[in-house]
Structure 1
């Protein structure tokens, strides 16, 4: 009896979805989806006639972290892993003569960003294929760091970029805990083991240690930008790299980008660098995704068996 009620409930839900779709300008499309999760190639531009050569568009969206992202309907790919997978596909395809890196990111962790930048520079060295970056709405902080690995940088007129720097945000709940009569005490192996703990005020020694780490990572970032933009004098670069963001026009004037344009401009530049007059433009995606043009972004794939994923704080789910 319980099984029958479940079936009835499922049928009712499906009917409601279909009726709801019919009452709006939305359509409910039910179709079989491949269970294979390997990347597929989708053609977004193709000239008439037979053309073998390709320019591959590789998209980098959202916050750059080295773990899978959780969403309402499931978990999406690890950005670092997905980026490397796309680079590997473009590297293995001899018909791919150039790559356009389409970036729409506010940045991320220094580790994830640096790993992606390293993979990009290795790709260029091993394949010799030119890479042109196009930054859409955002190409800030780690997004700009990654763009510096390309042979040229284009930014849309409305793009916000820059934010060259590193930040570590801390906070202290000690004052609040004191007011409600809670005292935290840490049993530690060394004086700095509880460094950065929100349960106590930060001491000057701890602040100095953390600041030295931040400055070390900042200098790595600065070195990446300096190598990518050799025309900017060191003193000017340091003044530009104070963490502020720039419009596309300001970034162009400062020498942080090469031109203002759109994805089609980046594609045209990549074609010139590769010596192509006619070619296909392709983009990589999972089988569940659809890519209609060079502005399309990846959807978060739905995990089998998961309808709604309500994320819990890391400290409630971490196992180690």
Structure 2
């Protein structure tokens, strides 16, 4: 027998039936390189998005809000500025509103301001800060109010910034009123008894943990907080009486039961002036300023990183639920419509 002729190919190893099939071929290295490059690109986009948001917010805090054309004559020199107050009145949105008021005050081309309110209220201090700045602004420029879906509690409080010379418009479906003060508090004492939780805080004064949710309030603690609530309540009533020319203190007090009023009932009780829409309020301001052509602009603010990656409401709700029990002992007096659901930082 003769040896087989060489074919130039390496001899194939005989398969071993005990070892199974040969391993699959390794993927080309270029596939792994493409994946790494794609991952780096995504990381770069996220970083640049964050830097852009921080850049815009930094310069917004220095230069104030931006202007966005709303309606009217785009080339008119004289302006009516819309300042929007929406959602819960609380930081960081309070600072944005205050910057918008300051911008309208300094801009000589702004001849009037429309306060657009769509809010269930918010913190007592923040509501009063906005009201105080509006009082200063109305000494120079007329203010009108356009109430949207809701202008209740603190939302009504800030509307008083228009003063006796300003006109408050509310849409036919607006809910307003809810005049009063609330300090949300959880009473978990019954649950604590069932699960064996004993509240024993180390404190330096009798009233340091007066809002402790794991025990009942004492009579003296309730008296202290009743006094605090009443002071804020009296301030609210007096501010309404001072700014609604057809209402006195006693009339306002009868209305300040926490009740919500429809637009029709609010007008009948003297809480608003007209039932109308934003365009009606703008027409009123244009007539009051006496300018035939005006440019209506809206103040806008750059989105923060949280606003971009998450909606503001979603980000707030996630954080609120994580901190609810921890913050339940922190007192927060609020001009707020409590039945609306989650109170930022409290529920």
User: Under a length normalisation based on structure 2, what TM-score does the superposition of the two structures give?
Assistant: 0.72
Structure-1 separation of matches of 2:194 and 2:53: 56
Q: Deviations over 1:2-60 (max 9, x none)?
A: 885354358799xxxxxxxxxxxxxxxxxx99943432211111337x52111111111
Equivalent residue number for residue 297 of structure 2:
282
Structure-2 separation of matches of 1:7 and 1:137: 48
- Determine whether 1:147 maps to 2:159: yes
Aligned with residue 57 of structure 1, among 82, 101, 107:
82
Equivalent residue number for residue 137 of structure 1:
149
Structure-2 separation of matches of 1:55 and 1:240: 33
Taking structure 1 as reference, are residues 144 and 315 closer, same or farther at Cα in structure 2, changes over 3 Å only? closer
Equivalent residue number for residue 56 of structure 2:
36
Aligned with residue 113 of structure 1, among 123, 127, 135:
127
Could you tell me how far 1:191 is from its partner in structure 2?
1.9
- Determine whether 1:311 maps to 2:319: yes
Are the counterparts in 2 of residues 129 and 274 from structure 1 also a CA contact under 8 Å?
Answer: no
Structure-1 separation of matches of 2:254 and 2:306: 50
Equivalent residue number for residue 290 of structure 1:
none
- Determine whether 1:161 maps to 2:176: yes
How many residues are matched? 274
Could you tell me how far 1:174 is from its partner in structure 2?
1.9
Structure-1 separation of matches of 2:326 and 2:197: 25
Structure-1 separation of matches of 2:214 and 2:280: 52
Any stretches of 5+ residues in structure 1 without a counterpart? 14-31, 68-77, 288-300
Structure-1 separation of matches of 2:93 and 2:208: 31
Any stretches of 5+ residues in structure 2 without a counterpart? 1-28, 44-51, 328-347
Structure-1 separation of matches of 2:281 and 2:247: 22
User: Under a length normalisation based on structure 1, what TM-score does the superposition of the two structures give?
Assistant: 0.78
Root-mean-square deviation (Å): 2.9
Equivalent residue number for residue 86 of structure 1:
100
Structure of greater Rg: 2
Taking structure 1 as reference, are residues 44 and 173 closer, same or farther at Cα in structure 2, changes over 3 Å only? same
- Determine whether 1:267 maps to 2:292: no
Are the counterparts in 2 of residues 166 and 217 from structure 1 also a CA contact under 8 Å?
Answer: yes
Q: Secondary structure at the match of 2:80?
A: strand
Q: Secondary structure at the match of 1:36?
A: helix
Q: Deviations over 1:228-277 (max 9, x none)?
A: 11311332211111110100000000010010000001101111222222
Structure-1 separation of matches of 2:292 and 2:112: 12
Could you tell me how far 1:92 is from its partner in structure 2?
1.8
Structure-1 separation of matches of 2:203 and 2:55: 49
Structure-2 separation of matches of 1:4 and 1:182: 56
Equivalent residue number for residue 101 of structure 1:
115
Structure-2 separation of matches of 1:158 and 1:116: 25
Q: Deviations over 1:55-80 (max 9, x none)?
A: 11111110001x2xxxxxxxxxx121
Structure-1 separation of matches of 2:253 and 2:77: 45
Are the counterparts in 1 of residues 238 and 249 from structure 2 also a CA contact under 8 Å?
Answer: no
Equivalent residue number for residue 25 of structure 2:
none
Could you tell me how far 1:169 is from its partner in structure 2?
2.1
